[in-house]
Amino acid sequence: MLGAIGLALLGAPLVTLPTPAFGGDPTLIAIASDPARMRLYCLSTRCGDEEWRLALAPPPAKAPDIDPLDLPPLRNVQLPGSQRRVGGIRAPATSRESRAMYSNDYRIGTRYGVQALRDGPTQLGLTFGAGYRLAPLHDDGINRPGAVFRGELNLGQKLGDRARWSQRVQVESGHGDTFVKQSVRLDVDVWRNWKLETDFAIRHDSNGGGGSESAESSIELIRRF
């Protein structure tokens, strides 16, 4: 019976008592007639009945005890760089042979190249192919358009740790004419970023039996930055 009465009191609306008289001042009478204006402002961020909710809430469930022996074993993870050596990895070897089709403003054709020597101090390479010359006197070759055969020989030799000698021979033949260019080059590392380059070239053109020949050379001191 007492419990029912208590619940009725808790759920009943708030009863406002009669306001006393404050003379005949209209302002005092208006304030006294509205008790809500006489209440202090609540600046709390918590609800007034939160302590009741916390008291009535069930306690949090307790985490079950875990036996360390029941845990799965840790995996043995190897971090990058922890291995002493990496085996089975090899860089792919580059082919000594090359095939290509090309076209430019003055010649179209195909060529085949092979590097006979390339890993030691001596390098030897050979390239040959056939094509069609579109315009003469735009690069090294015969002085007329038409079908041509081209060949090239490259020879290089390392001289010590600072010098390298190389020779290049180019041949183009077609329509009874033959063009040959021989160039010799010597590069020397003088001091750190300084390099001495020398180049000498001879051109020979049969030109229908008449023939012509020219030569040129250059010496350059180059500074690398």
Q: What is the pLDDT of residues 145-160, one digit of tens each?
A: 899 999 999 999 999 8
Please compute the mean of the pLDDT values over residues 101-119 and round it to a whole number. 91
Is the residue at 134 inside a domain?
Answer: yes
- Are 152 and 141 a contacting pair, CB within 8 Å? no
Give the residues across from 90 on adjacent strands: none
Q: Does 3 map to a domain?
A: no
pLDDT above 60 for 114: yes
Residue pLDDT, tens place only, 47-65: 555 544 545 556 666 666 6
Q: Is the pLDDT of residue 139 over 90?
A: no
pLDDT tens digits, 173-209 = 998 899 999 999 999 999 888 999 999 999 998 876 5
pLDDT, residue 192, reads: 83
Query: Considering its fold, how many domains does the chain have in total?
Result: 1
Residue type, 79: L
Residue 104 in any domain: the answer is yes
Residue 203 in contact with residue 187, Cβ under 8 Å? no
Name the band, by pLDDT with cuts 50, 70 and 90, for residue 17.
very low
b/e map of 133-170 (b: 16 or more CB within 10 Å)? beeeeeebbbebeeebebebebbbeeeeeeebebebeb
Question: Residue 208 — left, alpha, or beta (φ > 0 → left; ψ -120 to 50 → alpha)?
Answer: left
Q: Supply the mean pLDDT for the chain.
A: 75
What's the domain range around 130? 97-223
161 is a domain residue = yes
Q: Which of 25-39, 66-80, 143-157, 204-218 shows the lowest mean pLDDT across its residues?
A: 25-39
Any idea which residue has 């009725």 for tokens? 8
- Does 193 map to a domain? yes
User: Tokens 């009535």, residue?
Assistant: 56
Handedness of CA 127, 131, 136, 138 (dihedral sign): negative
Q: CA of 184: how far to CAs of 201, 202, 215, in Å?
A: 6, 9, 12
pLDDT score at 8: 47
Ranges of beta strands (E only) in 44-193 are: 97-103, 107-117, 122-133, 146-159, 163-174, 177-191
Quote the distance between the C-alpha of residue 214 and its chain's center.
Answer: 48
**Residue 86 pLDDT more than 60?**
no
Are 161 and 190 a contacting pair, CB within 8 Å?
no
On whether residue 70 sits in a domain, the answer given is no
In-domain check, residue 91: no
Of all residues in the chain, what percent carry a pLDDT higher than 70?
56
Residue 28 lies in a domain: no
